[in-house]
């Protein structure tokens, strides 16, 4: 199992959904970076979601930093983060432990680990494991902000409801930081919540699209061919449970354009090279061009639904019908927002450290 990501700044995950604790080790962070525990707690709250449209499972998610931080600053040594699990209902999973939940990792985990995996709540494959990613991401977000780099993600669409697009990025990103439901239009929020509640009442779930913007990343970051800015970001983003598609800039819409429409014309302003449009999402040839990095992630509907579904018992190889019990989200997209922000921050710290050196973030 590959639980470590990053070349210069890396994160290693550990734990299971219903184990004693989950956590991570964040390594390679420069010394002297401020660690704001209030900000970490705020980010953890965003991951918990909204009570009416999220799982009833309520974890305290108190982050314990075991090493790598002294007197509120990073020491330059590995930062060990631990979060205790305190609200497990393991019995919810015992009756169906040999049944493959559709669109979950139960069957593939059985094939790979031969029955030794922790099946409770999805074990190490659970979205619960994103909690330490958010804690580590909070450290990276603060470090990036000190360097003038800001990240914001909104729900572009969910349950058939669309939010407005990004307009003024600096203002929109600042607005999203204060939002429990990460949308730019209040009417969109009401309609999305209604769509999620409708799916929940029907025993079903919905997905959507998250769009992320990053401002302040300097030009020249990324390593062609195989560690391009898009490639490394996509690698990290696809580790987030539920993300099944990533596109940068205009993405698949490029297929409907002509070159004259797709190209981003260059110009200079105040001695800085910029582009008049940003169809390429701030990246050319796998290298950042100094424009905002913009990408979108497709988030699938939560696979745990309360409708009966056809499946198999992977031990007896018999066909059967599955009826899931327990506590589940009718949508995860609003909770995934902060995970995407965090994964993006960790990845950018890694890329920037590769370009400018590991101490650059602490300078």
CATH of the domain at 189: 3.60.150.10
Range of the domain at 136: 4-362
Res. 104: pLDDT tops 60: yes
pLDDT at 56 over 70: no
- The pLDDT value recorded for residue 1 is 56
CB burial of residue 162 (10 Å; 0-12, 13-18, 19+): middle
How far is Cα 235 from Cα 232, in angstroms, rounded to an integer?
Answer: 5
Q: Does the predicted model carry a pTM greater than 0.85?
A: yes
Mean pLDDT of the 250-264 span: 98
* pLDDT at 293 exceeding the cut of 60: yes
Mean pLDDT computed over every residue of the chain: 94
Query: Over pLDDT 70: what percentage of the chain?
Result: 96
What are 89's two structure tokens?
């209902």
Number of domains in the chain: 1
Hey, what's the torsion of the CAs at 350, 354, 359, 362, to 10 degrees? -40
What pLDDT, on the 0 to 100 scale, is given for residue 239? 96
CA-closest candidate to residue 221, choices 149, 131, 142, 165: 149
- State how far Cα 263 lies from the chain centre: 29
Lowest mean pLDDT among 188-197, 263-272, 315-324: 315-324
pLDDT > 90 in the chain, percent = 87
What is the mean predicted confidence (pLDDT) over 137-153? 98
How is residue 30 annotated by DSSP? P
Write down the pLDDT at residue 90.
Answer: 55
Per-residue exposure over 216-254, b if at least 16 CB sit within 10 Å of its own CB, e if not: bbeeebbbeeeebbbbbbbebbebbbbbeebbbbbeeee
The per-residue pLDDT for 197 is 95
- For the cut 70, the answer to whether the pLDDT of residue 91 exceeds it is no
Checking if the pLDDT of 88 tops 60, the result is no
Cis omega before residue 225 (within 30°)? yes
Q: Are strands 208-215 and 293-299 parallel, antiparallel or unpaired?
A: antiparallel
């Amino acid at each position: 199992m590959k639980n470590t990501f990053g070349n210069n700044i890396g994160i290693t995950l550990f734990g299971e959904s219903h184990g004693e604790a989950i956590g991570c080790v964040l390594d390679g962070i420069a010394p002297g970076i401020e660690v704001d525990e209030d900000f970490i707690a705020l980010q953890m709250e965003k991951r918990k979601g909204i009570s009416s449209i999220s799982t009833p499972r309520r974890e305290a998610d108190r982050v314990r930093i075991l090493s790598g931080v002294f007197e509120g600053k990073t020491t330059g040594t590995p930062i060990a983060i631990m979060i205790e699990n305190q609200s497990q209902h393991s019995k919810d999973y015992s009756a169906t432990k040999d049944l493959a939940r559709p669109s979950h990792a139960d069957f593939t985990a059985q094939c790979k680990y031969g029955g030794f995996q922790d099946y409770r709540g999805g074990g190490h494959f659970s979205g619960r494991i994103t909690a330490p990613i958010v804690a580590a991401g909070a450290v990276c977000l603060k470090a990036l902000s000190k360097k003038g780099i800001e990240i914001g993600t909104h729900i572009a669409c969910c349950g058939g409801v669309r939010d407005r697009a990004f307009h003024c990025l600096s203002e929109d990103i600042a607005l999203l930081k204060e939002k429990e439901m990460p949308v730019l239009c209040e009417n969109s929020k009401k309609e999305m919540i209604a769509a999620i509640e409708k799916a929940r009442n029907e025993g079903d779930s919905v997905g959507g699209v998250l769009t992320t913007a990053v401002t302040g990343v300097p030009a020249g970051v990324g390593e062609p061919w195989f560690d391009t800015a898009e490639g490394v970001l996509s690698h990290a983003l696809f580790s987030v449970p539920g993300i099944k598609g990533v596109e940068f800039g205009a993405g698949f819409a490029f297929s409907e354009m002509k070159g004259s429409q797709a190209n981003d014309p260059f110009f200079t302003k105040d001695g800085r090279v910029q582009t008049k449009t940003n169809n390429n999402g701030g990246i050319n040839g796998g290298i950042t061009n100094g424009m905002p990095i913009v990408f979108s992630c497709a988030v699938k509907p939560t696979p745990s639904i309360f409708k009966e579904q056809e499946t198999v018992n992977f031990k007896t190889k018999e066909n059967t019908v599955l009826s899931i019990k327990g506590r589940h989200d009718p949508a995860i997209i609003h909770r995934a927002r902060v995970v995407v922000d965090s994964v993006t921050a960790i990845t950018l710290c890694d890329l920037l450290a590769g370009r400018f050196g590991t101490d650059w973030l602490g300078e």
